[in-house]
């Protein structure tokens, strides 16, 4: 999670197409991000308060933690991701790493059951695949939409979306 947040901030600071976004986004290194994201012995445990505090620190970026208590349709997921990507903004998705890894490596991992929540950054989308920057597995990794949809349909179905302050959105 910490490295996904770091990727998003660095993206805005160094890659985003709008000059003003790049110029005004502050730098935060992973250690500094840990001051905002709770990391417990059993992994990260992010909540709305963490994300709100983080947003204040990285203005003009605004993060939002979105939790869906009951599984929404995957179409809803893809609508959100597409909407963000059209605005040149990647999104953090919490997925089951086992399903993602199984497809990527073509290895049978899920037959033994279980799941492991893991944060990835969605950086692209087409009719067939979702493209992920995965702290465990490289950049622009393609995962087919069905697998990604199922891997996301766990726990609280969480996304961390990013937006820019309204003055910057207009650019």
The Cα–Cα gap between 120 and 96 comes to 10
Q: Which two tokens stand for residue 149?
A: 């949809």
The Cα–Cα gap between 60 and 44 comes to 24
Q: How far is the CB of 132 from other proteins (least distance, A)?
A: 13
Question: Cβ atoms within 10 A of the Cβ of 92, count?
Answer: 23
Q: Is 101 near other proteins (CB under 8 A)?
A: yes
Based on CB atoms, which residue is closest to other proteins, 57 or 156?
156
The Cα–Cα gap between 142 and 89 comes to 18
x/- string (CB under 8 A) for other proteins, residues 113-152?
xxxxxxx---------------xxxx--------------
Which of residues 105, 140, 169, 171 is near other proteins by CB under 8 A?
Answer: 105
Based on CB atoms, which residue is closest to other proteins, 47 or 169?
47
x/- string (CB under 8 A) for other proteins, residues 26-65?
-------------xxxxxxxxx------------------
- Contact status, residue 98 vs residue 152, Cβ threshold 8 Å: no
Which of residues 17, 31, 106, 112 is near other proteins by CB under 8 A?
Answer: 112
DSSP tag of 111:
G
- Contact status, residue 51 vs residue 4, Cβ threshold 8 Å: no
Q: Which two tokens stand for residue 72?
A: 């929404």
The Cα–Cα gap between 101 and 97 comes to 6
Q: Is 109 near other proteins (CB under 8 A)?
A: yes
Q: How far is the CB of 34 from other proteins (least distance, A)?
A: 14
Q: Determine the length of the chain.
A: 171
Which residues would be at the binding site for other proteins (CB under 8 A)? 1, 39-47, 67, 69-70, 94, 97-98, 101, 105, 107-109, 112-119, 135-138, 154-156, 158
């Amino acid at each position: 999670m910490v490295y996904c947040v770091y990727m998003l901030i660095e993206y805005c600071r160094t890659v985003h197409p709008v000059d003003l976004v790049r110029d005004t986004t502050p730098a935060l290194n992973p250690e500094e991000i840990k001051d905002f994201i709770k990391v417990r012995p059993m992994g990260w445990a992010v909540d709305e308060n963490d994300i709100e505090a983080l947003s204040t620190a990285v203005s003009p970026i605004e993060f939002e933690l979105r939790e869906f208590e009951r599984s929404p349709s995957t179409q809803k997921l893809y609508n959100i991701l597409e909407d963000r990507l059209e605005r040149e903004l990647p999104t953090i998705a919490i997925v089951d790493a086992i399903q993602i890894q199984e497809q990527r490596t073509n290895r049978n991992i899920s037959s033994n059951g279980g799941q492991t929540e893991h944060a990835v950054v969605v950086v692209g989308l087409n009719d067939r695949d979702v493209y992920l920057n995965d702290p465990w597995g490289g950049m622009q990794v393609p995962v087919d939409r069905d697998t990604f949809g199922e891997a996301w349909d766990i726990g609280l179905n969480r996304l961390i979306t990013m937006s820019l302050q309204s003055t910057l959105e207009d650019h």
